[in-house]
Amino acid sequence: MMNKAVAYLKKNGIEKTVAEANQPKGQFVDRDLYVSIMDGKNINLAHGANQRLVGKDLSELRDADGTYITRQRNEALKTSNSGSIKYRFLNPVTGKIEPKTMFFTKVDGYVVSCGAYTP
């Protein structure tokens, strides 16, 4: 799903991609899978599962164990333009805290990500 969003971004630009990724029933949301997009300053531009996070600085976002998710992702991006991190987060489908792997990639100064829960 992340790769699909990246291709959409390259073809349609950031504004259309953000609008589509923010649609709860759009092409970038499927059950517990959803795309999020952040700018280079950790501002969340799109979040397919939680519209309350749109427009927020997620530098201080922590998982259920207190790990700073955005900081961990940014550390990984210092050595590569893409990667993955593991953490525990609220699954929007089950309503439970579950292990999750976030896959992310940098595109034109934005970070596009999608995570998969592994109960």
Please tell me the predicted confidence (pLDDT) of residue 92: 84
Please tell me the predicted confidence (pLDDT) of residue 119: 67
Residue 31: domain span: 2-117
Identify the three-state secondary structure at position 93. coil
How many domains are there within the chain?
1
Please tell me the predicted confidence (pLDDT) of residue 16: 98
Going residue by residue through the chain (119 aa), what tens digit of pLDDT does each one get? 999 999 999 999 999 999 999 999 999 999 889 999 999 999 999 999 899 999 999 999 999 999 999 999 999 999 999 999 999 998 888 999 999 999 999 999 999 999 999 86
Instruction: Pick the closest to residue 116 from 6, 25, 2, 24 (CA basis).
Output: 2
CATH code assigned at 17: 3.30.450.20
